[in-house]
Amino acid sequence: MNYAELSSMHQKEVDAFPLRAAFSPAQLKTGMEALGVESKNELHDIGGGCFIRRSDKDAFYEMMERHSNQLEKALEDDAFAIGALIYELNNHEYVITGNPSEAMEILDFNIDNPRHVNLLNEALQQGSFQE
């Protein structure tokens, strides 16, 4: 499985999780109805305007931790990590900005880590980043 496939698998699981977003009182009311809750006390804020049922909190954070662990384990493989970097360099418009920092950050890679620097250099050599 490559990085795009793993990311897609994770996204499908998040999309299937009962969560809602609200940016107005009307959207909050609609979201609460969709989740089958009657009180704001039954909600848990997960940030970015999103919320879940308080009763689903443990399951949500377990899912997120599992996703993080799966990605961390996969990134131990150099070929996977290089592919992930190429994907994120393209996703964060490296061809335009010439700055790899957003791609590095999204993968929790650090410019002070020699392995991460080597993987970045390899990704830059293997990727197609010409205008």
> For the chain, what is the mean pLDDT?
95
C-alpha closest to that of 49 among 16, 22, 15: 22
Kindly state the average pLDDT of the residues 105-118. Answer: 96
What residue spans define the domains of the chain?
8-65, 75-126
**pLDDT reported for residue 38:** 96
Q: Is 24 exposed, middle or buried (0-12, 13-18, 19+ CB in 10 A)?
A: exposed
Task: Confirm if 58 and 92 have CB atoms less than 8 A apart.
Answer: no
CA 22/CA 13 separation, integer angstroms: 20
C-alpha closest to that of 17 among 47, 49, 62: 62
C-alpha closest to that of 28 among 16, 18, 40: 40
CA distances from 47 to 1, 24, 130 (A): 30, 15, 37
**pLDDT reported for residue 130:** 57
pLDDT in tens, 21-68: 999 999 999 999 999 999 999 999 999 999 999 999 999 999 999 999
| pLDDT band of 129, cuts 50, 70, 90 | confident
